Amino acid sequence: QNGYAVGQDGTLIKTADGGSSWQMIKVPTRENLLDVWSSSGGEVFVSGIRTLLHSRDYGKSWESKATEEF
């Protein structure tokens, strides 16, 4: 089972084995991250207080959205 978790200083980690092991994923921010959402199709959204990041390839590349856009 796949899963993601977020934390301080831009921390994003991913598991592909139900939490037995975790891999760090690089994201283009050092901001504290508060929430993560993912789909089975590879989309991942990560949010912080002033940050929204979107990936379409399981976190390999990221698009940053300014919160002013919302």
- Domain assignments of the chain as residue spans, ordered by start: 3-69
Enumerate the β-bridge partners of residue 53.
46, 64
pLDDT surpasses 90 at 66: no
pTM of the model: 0.87
Check residue 69 and give its pLDDT.
57
Per-residue pLDDT tens digits for 8-61: 999 999 999 999 999 999 999 999 999 999 998 999 999 998 899 999 999 999
- Which long-range contacts does 51-58 make (Cβ < 8 Å, 24+ apart)? 53/27, 53/28, 53/29, 58/14
Task: Look at residue 70 in the predicted model and tell me its pLDDT.
Answer: 56
